[in-house]
Amino acid sequence: MDHLFSYGTLQKKKVQIDLFDRILQGSPDVLKGYMIAPIEIRDEAFLSTGEQKDQQIAISSGKENDIIQGTVFEMTEEELLLADSYEPKDYKRIRVRLESGKEAWIYASVEAT
C-alpha cells in the first residue's frame, strides 16, 4: 500500500466513492514546510466533475513553521493512478515525509517542485 496526503477534495467521501468505488482509510496528519495557496483551475476535465474553479494548492515554503493539516490515506498503486487522472494539470504528485514519519505522496504546485 502507498500513502497519499490530501488537504483538499480527495478528503470528500463523495469524491472517494466516485473515483475509487470505496471510502478510503485514513488518519489526520500534518505536512511541515508547505503552505496552502489559492489557485484558479482551468482544467475542463477537472471542472466537469462538478468541482469549483477556486481550489487550494500546496506550495513548498521551506519554513518549518508553515504547515498543512490534512488526511493521509492508504491506497493501491492503481488508486494512485486514478487520483493522478482526477487532479488538475496544475498539480504534480511528489513524495514528502509527514509529521507522523510516514512517507506519502501529495499533489503540489507544478512551479514549486
Q: Which three cell numbers stand for residue 25?
A: 482509510
* Cα-Cα-Cα-Cα dihedral sign, residues 71, 50, 79, 35: negative
Q: Residues 9-59: pLDDT tens digits?
A: 899 999 999 999 999 999 999 999 999 887 776 766 655 665 566 667 888
Domain boundaries, the chain: 2-109
Distance between CA atoms of residues 37 and 62, nearest Å: 14
Q: Residues 75-108: pLDDT tens digits?
A: 999 999 999 988 767 779 999 999 999 999 999 8
Beta-bridge partners for 47: none
What is residue 87's predicted lDDT score, i.e. its pLDDT? 79
Given a cut of 90, whether residue 2 has pLDDT beyond it is: yes
CATH number, span 2-109 = 3.10.490.10
